[in-house]
Amino acid sequence: MFDIGAAELLVIIIVAVIVIGPKDFPLAMRVAGRWIGKARRVSAHFRSGIDSMVREAELEDMEKKWKAQNEEIMRRSAALTTETSEAEAGAPMMTGPPPVDSLPDDPAPAETGSATPPKGSDNVQG
């Protein structure tokens, strides 16, 4: 942050010891430590506030984008439904499973667990 090297820090400490005096130096360091701690807390609080504002702005942008996409999908769906209903005017709409058109000719249900495989089966039992 301040790019203070070891030599510069040593000079600052020596000047502080000479100016403040060795007797009051520990007290001065404690006070400086408290001020540095307060400054860090304020900085962290400020940074978290900025981060939350950025997140909220991004969330609002995402919500606008999602809403626009949802509206586009709904328009396409409505247009597709309109086209489909106009094309099939009067045709019954199927809502259930598809009808079974290809039933086997043999109306008897197949037995389960039979010893012989059905015709055309490639199952090889060993």
Supply the pLDDT for residue 50.
95
Mean pLDDT of the chain: 79
DSSP helix/strand/coil, 73 = helix
Supply the pLDDT for residue 53.
93
Q: Low-confidence residues of the chain, pLDDT below 50? A: 126
Supply the pLDDT for residue 104.
59
CA distances from residue 97 to 59, 93, 100, 104, 109 in whole angstroms, order as listed: 41, 12, 9, 19, 21
Residue 125, C-beta contacts closer than 8 angstroms, at least 6 positions apart: 117
Residues 59, 61, 62, 65, Cα dihedral to 10°:
160
Residue 4, C-beta contacts closer than 8 angstroms, at least 6 positions apart: 12
Supply the pLDDT for residue 16.
87
| Residue the block writes with tokens 């409505």 | 78
Supply the pLDDT for residue 38.
96
DSSP 8-state class, residue 2: -
Supply the pLDDT for residue 3.
76
Backbone angles phi, psi at 62, to 5 degrees: -65, -40
DSSP 8-state class, residue 97: S
Supply the pLDDT for residue 46.
94
What's the one-letter identity of residue 25?
F
Supply the pLDDT for residue 94.
61
Under 8 Å between Cβ of 28 and 16: yes
Supply the pLDDT for residue 109.
55
